[in-house]
Amino acid sequence: MKVIETVLPGVLIIEPKVFGDARGFFLETFHKLRYEASGIPGNGLEFVQDNHSRSRKGVLRGLHFQLENPQGKLVSAGTGAVFDVAADVNPDSPTFGKWVGVELSEENHRQLWIPPGYAHGFCVLSDVADFQYKCTALYHPESDGGIAWNDPDLAIEWPLETPLLSEKDMLLPKLSVAKRTQLP
């Protein structure tokens, strides 16, 4: 597998080895020893929850994080294509306000490792996308947090103008109004 570093510390793009022939393909989506050698999940973390979501074209989910029990996430698109984003929304971080965006698709088989403490979101580029997450902490609804997808301070270059959002995501605050206690 190939591991590509990004501008955000610890956020990694993973390109697994894909073995294909006329019948289809095979790849390892996770191998404990190989991934740990690359620092995934690292820092004594282990994966404890797997999630799978399906969304249609134009859906944008995010930007989400957990204040307590922050989740590291290894994400990929099993079907379709998404534009996936990790954003640093920690005011104490030297990379505060920076973000990384990468296309994850069933064709490129890429994964993105997002360590705990970053905000995460994605939008669907294909007609439908199945999105998988391996998480290092259990979902903890009481500590759910997030930042508006279109926050001007982040200036994420989303590949769509009018996404389909959940009611929860429509109400997320901008960085400029979020209290320090509402951020990782």
Q: Known catalytic residue: 64?
A: yes
Rounded to the nearest angstrom, the gap between the alpha carbon of residue 55 and the centroid of all alpha carbons in its chain is 15
Q: How far apart are CA 80 and CA 4, in angstroms?
A: 22
- The torsion of the CA quartet 87, 88, 89, 95, rounded to 10 degrees, works out to -140
Q: Is the CB of residue 146 less than 8 Å from the CB of residue 62?
A: yes
Backbone dihedral angles phi then psi of residue 176, each to the nearest 5 degrees = -65, -20
Q: Is the CB of residue 121 less than 8 Å from the CB of residue 149?
A: yes
Q: Spot the catalytic one: 64, 109, 118, 140.
A: 64
Q: Known catalytic residue: 139?
A: no
Q: Spot the catalytic one: 35, 118, 120, 133.
A: 133
Angle at 17 between CA 11 and CA 22, to 5 degrees: 140
Query: Which residues are tagged catalytic?
Result: 64, 133
